[in-house]
Amino acid sequence: MNWSSIRLLITRQLKEHMRVYLISLALLAGLLSFMFLLIHNWRDSFTGAVENGVFLIGLFLSGGMFTNSMFKELSNKPEGIWLLNTPATSLEKVFSAVLLSSVVFLAIYLGVFFLVDALYLSLTAQSGNLLGIFSNGFHEFIFLYLIFNGLVLLGRASFMKYSFLKTMVLIIGVVILLNTFNNFTLEYMIPDLSVTSSMPFSSFQFRHSGENIHVLLPSSTRAAFMPFLWILLPLALWGITWLKIKEKEI
């Protein structure tokens, strides 16, 4: 990998789409402000961790759309051929897209979110603190975003037209299938168990004598297994995206 090629690829992407990105940035700040305004107006109805909800809606919505703007040229044949012929390896192209849509995007998103959050708290004279990314394991959603980023990039490299819509439909379908398979295996392994809800790779809940009982992975097992999911899964998805782009070159 040549770092100067990566730098040039990132510069090209930013220069070509700068106007759209700046408008989107303003739109993101507007959307976050609007959501904060909503939760402030209906603060008695919205109880609980509403700020976390605003953070996640903003992150996945804007992150998905921004990630989908990578390899945009592939949806148009002549532009796609031009992109594939750009003097850089497919690995450099994928690496620059990952760097922009995960690291750079996350840094900008966090900056915009906390700016809006701070403005909201100061304008409404609230006693609360800024959203705590590292409290209650909320930072795990950042890893979930990386997996989502890998899926959107893979969708972009796989589908020529309407890639974002197709990827979203596929993600929803896969989540439903995974959950169904997870419940099925749990009920198969534990006779007479009726799972009321489950989180694949983490926990499940069942009903016993009218009471919901939660079964969670032991913390040591979780600590050993989750890095596999959080780090290897996005890496695998980015790797498959690279293979898909490489196949197009051939």
Partner 1 sequence: MKSGNIALSILVLLLLTSMVWVNTQLKEVYHEIDFTDKLRSYLTIETDQYSILKVSGSNGYPIDIKQSEKPSISVLRSRASQLEHRIEGDTLIIRFSGARVSPASLAATTTPTGLIISSSKLSGVILTDTHNRVTGFSQPSFTLDLRGESYTEITDNQASTLRVKASQRSSFEFYNKNTADTAYITLKDNSVGFLDGLSYHRLQPAMEDSSLMVLSKSALQALIKK
Q: What count of other Cβ atoms lies within 10 Å of the Cβ of residue 179?
A: 15
Helices 105-123 and 3-41: angle between axes, nearest 10 degrees: 30
Q: Check: CB of residue 86 under 8 Å from CB of residue 11.
A: no
Selected binder of partner 1 within 36, 71, 120, 204 (CB under 8 A): 204
Contact call for residue 215 and partner 1 (CB under 8 A): yes
Minimal distance, residue 107 CB to partner 1, in Å:
26
| DSSP secondary structure code for residue 86 in this structure | S
Contact call for residue 57 and partner 1 (CB under 8 A): no
Contact call for residue 218 and partner 1 (CB under 8 A): yes
For the chain, the residue count is 250
Question: Which strand (E) or helix (H) includes residue 187?
Answer: helix 163-189
- The b-or-e profile of 193-225 (16+ CB within 10 A means b, else e) is eebeebeeeeebebeeeeeeeeeebeeeeeeee
* Residue 241 identity: T
Site stretch for partner 1 (CB under 8 A), options 26-34, 44-52, 69-77, 104-112: 44-52
Cα–Cα dist 162/156, whole Å: 9
Site stretch for partner 1 (CB under 8 A), options 11-19, 75-83, 118-126, 174-182: 174-182
Selected binder of partner 1 within 99, 104, 171, 217 (CB under 8 A): 217
Contact call for residue 185 and partner 1 (CB under 8 A): yes
168's tokens = 């979203």
Cα–Cα dist 194/187, whole Å: 7
CA distances in angstroms from 24 to 27, 31, 147, 212, listed in the order given: 5, 10, 23, 43
Minimal distance, residue 182 CB to partner 1, in Å:
6
Contact call for residue 178 and partner 1 (CB under 8 A): yes
Contact call for residue 80 and partner 1 (CB under 8 A): no
Contact call for residue 76 and partner 1 (CB under 8 A): no
Contact call for residue 214 and partner 1 (CB under 8 A): yes
Contact call for residue 49 and partner 1 (CB under 8 A): yes
Interface size with partner 1, residues (CB under 8 A): 46
Contact call for residue 86 and partner 1 (CB under 8 A): no
List residues near partner 1 by CB under 8 A. Answer: 43-44, 47-49, 128, 135-137, 178, 181-182, 185-186, 189-190, 193, 200-205, 208, 211-219, 221, 225, 228-229, 233, 236-237, 239-240, 243-244, 246-247
